[in-house]
Amino acid sequence: MTDAVRTPHPGLAESPFLAAARGEVPSHTPVWFMRQAGRSLPEYLKVREGIGMLESCMDADLVTEITLQPVRRYGVDAAIFFSDIVLPLKAVGVDLDIKPGVGPVVASPVRTMADVEAIPDLTDEHVPYISQAVRQLVAELGATPLIGFAGAPFTVASYLVEGGPSKEHARTKAMMFGAPDVWDALMRKIAGIAAAYLRIQAEAGASAVQLFDSWAGALTPADYRASVMPHSERVLAEAGELGVPRIHFGVGTSNLLGLMGEAGADVVGVDWRTPLEHAIPLVGDRAVQGNLDPTLVFAPTEVMTARAAEIIEAGRRAKGHIFNLGHGVIPSTDPGQLMALTEFVHGYQLR
Ligand code: CP3
């Protein structure tokens, strides 16, 4: 399909976000926010009125609008595609929903080899609205890069095996420890889906990808290395073949940062619990992303920006630094504070 061949916007060559991701020198410290598109924005709540989360994710025009909202409002250096880590599972036919205030809920949790085998692989035909939304976005965004994303195998497996959000991930880890053949099949299945989902987004024009392994912090380094890392590695390797920078993020991962980099990331996302000066030596020759405590936006602006300055200074010792929060924007966040934070990061003189 020749019209699928796209010419990247020439302005992307100067993108501070892409420069930092590649370890080149950006014109200013780039900034975007995990969960920047979503419940903290009144314009988001307005367009979502009466429309379910998954339904919204399957409407290319709505996805385009919601993804653009924070870019318009804050002038952040990257857009993150509005979707969810469980959307590709829904698209292949897994019976699940995203319940407001709860998160993803799976009707029949995956526990056996037969359950794993019943999950189809993801093809382009499952998600026409995704490629369409990415193409529309890339046209609208111009010189602002679009980040595509997928859930990493461990984090997605946790929703499938537990049947919903979990603190301990006990059933998931019990499968990992006690039924390694089922675990391996499940991880392969999800890795294939995640790799296809990233490929579809990159082929439609996304300039970078982020692999969210939000709950990997539940694992020891040895278990991560043996039972999880090879699968994330495969997803990142396939994304690497598409030529887009890859960000690898998890929460509570101070003991895993080295391995998460080694898994094939160009940028390692760091949560707020690990100071960047500790994280930077661990990630090796890679850029870092993060990591302001998301609750600092509830503090007075000057307290928030003083902490942001410390993070920017610490980030200078990294191969590259993309400013972000240490996890997603909390829904009750005042958008005015994110605006002040964006302006502060953009105005900060690196000297
Ligand atoms: O960052 C963005 O703005 C892009 C959109 C995005 C969403 N989910 C939208 C969303 C992204 C990147 C995700 C990824 C995601 N989803 C992750 C990884 C990132 C992370 O936060 O660690 C995870 C673990 C999920 C699973 C999930 N989906 C959770 C935990 C929740 C929140 C449940 C709640 O309501 O407290 C969701 C729902 C969800 N995903 C919402 C949004 C905007 C809220 C839906 C709504 O408006 O009702």
Which tens digits make up the pLDDT trace of 155-207?
Answer: 999 999 999 999 999 999 999 999 999 999 999 999 999 999 999 999 999 99
129 catalytically annotated: no
Residue type, position 282, single letter: L
Q: Is 13 helix (H, G, I), strand (E, B) or coil?
A: helix
Catalytic residue, chosen from 44, 74, 129, 159, is: 159
Query: If you measure from the C-alpha of residue 283 to the centroid of ligand 1, how many angstroms do you get, rounded to a whole number?
Result: 26
- Provide the token pair at 342: 């964006």
Query: Alpha helix locations (H) across the chain?
Result: 16-22, 42-48, 53-57, 60-74, 87-92, 113-117, 128-141, 153-162, 170-178, 180-204, 221-223, 229-240, 257-262, 276-283, 301-315, 335-347
Mutating to test ligand 1, I would choose from 98, 99, 149, 249 the residue with most ligand atoms within 8 A of its C-beta, which is 98
Check pLDDT > 70 for residue 104: yes
pLDDT value at position 351?
A: 60
pLDDT value at position 208?
A: 98
Residue type, position 329, single letter: V
Query: If you measure from the C-alpha of residue 18 to the centroid of ligand 1, how many angstroms do you get, rounded to a whole number?
Result: 24
Check pLDDT > 90 for residue 314: yes
pLDDT value at position 180?
A: 98
Check pLDDT > 90 for residue 7: no
Angle at 293 between CA 317 and CA 331, to 5 degrees: 135
35 catalytically annotated: yes
Q: Contact 216/112 with Cβ under 8 angstroms? A: no
CA distance 39 to 185: 35
- Provide the token pair at 337: 């504070």
pLDDT value at position 350?
A: 75
84 catalytically annotated: yes
CA distance 224 to 256: 8
pLDDT, averaged across the chain = 96
- Provide the token pair at 1: 């399909």
Query: If you measure from the C-alpha of residue 151 to the centroid of ligand 1, how many angstroms do you get, rounded to a whole number?
Result: 11
6 catalytically annotated: no
249 Cβ neighbours under 8 A, 6+ residues apart? 34, 210, 211, 212, 213, 214, 268, 269, 289
pLDDT value at position 154?
A: 98
Q: Contact 318/291 with Cβ under 8 angstroms? A: no
pLDDT value at position 304?
A: 98
Whether ligand 1 lies within 6 angstroms of the CB of 243 is answered as no
Nearest CA to ligand 1 atom 25: 85
Query: If you measure from the C-alpha of residue 260 to the centroid of ligand 1, how many angstroms do you get, rounded to a whole number?
Result: 21
pLDDT value at position 6?
A: 66
Angle at 58 between CA 335 and CA 4, to 5 degrees: 100
- Provide the token pair at 316: 């200078």
Check pLDDT > 70 for residue 4: no
Cβ neighbours, 10 Å, residue 166: 17
Residue 1 — pLDDT band, cuts 50, 70, 90?
A: very low
Check pLDDT > 60 for residue 2: no
CA distance 21 to 245: 6
Query: Alpha helix locations (H) across 142-179?
Result: 153-162, 170-178
Query: If you measure from the C-alpha of residue 35 to the centroid of ligand 1, how many angstroms do you get, rounded to a whole number?
Result: 7
Check pLDDT > 60 for residue 345: yes
Check pLDDT > 50 for residue 256: yes
Signed CA dihedral, 138, 241, 252, 282: sign only = negative
Ordered DSSP codes for 171-216: HHHHHHHH-HHHHHHHHHHHHHHHHHHHHHHHHHT-SEEEEE-TTG
- Provide the token pair at 88: 């590709």
Q: Is 267 helix (H, G, I), strand (E, B) or coil?
A: strand
Of the candidates 153, 152, 146, the residue with the CA atom closest to the CA atom of residue 131:
146
Whether ligand 1 lies within 6 angstroms of the CB of 78 is answered as no
Mutating to test ligand 1, I would choose from 31, 32, 35 the residue with most ligand atoms within 8 A of its C-beta, which is 35
The average pLDDT across 112-123 equals: 98
The pLDDT tens digits for 207-216 are: 999 999 999 9
159 catalytically annotated: yes
Of the candidates 194, 201, 173, 213, the residue with the CA atom closest to the CA atom of residue 327:
213
Check pLDDT > 60 for residue 327: yes
Nearest CA to ligand 1 atom 29: 103
pLDDT value at position 276?
A: 98
The average pLDDT across 235-253 equals: 97
The average pLDDT across 247-272 equals: 98
Q: What does pTM read for this prediction?
A: 0.96
The average pLDDT across 253-262 equals: 98
Catalytic residue, chosen from 44, 74, 84, 246, is: 84
Helix (H) or strand (E) holding 78: none
Q: Cα separations (Å) of 318 from 25, 189, 198, 268, 287?
A: 11, 34, 26, 11, 6
Query: If you measure from the C-alpha of residue 239 to the centroid of ligand 1, how many angstroms do you get, rounded to a whole number?
Result: 22
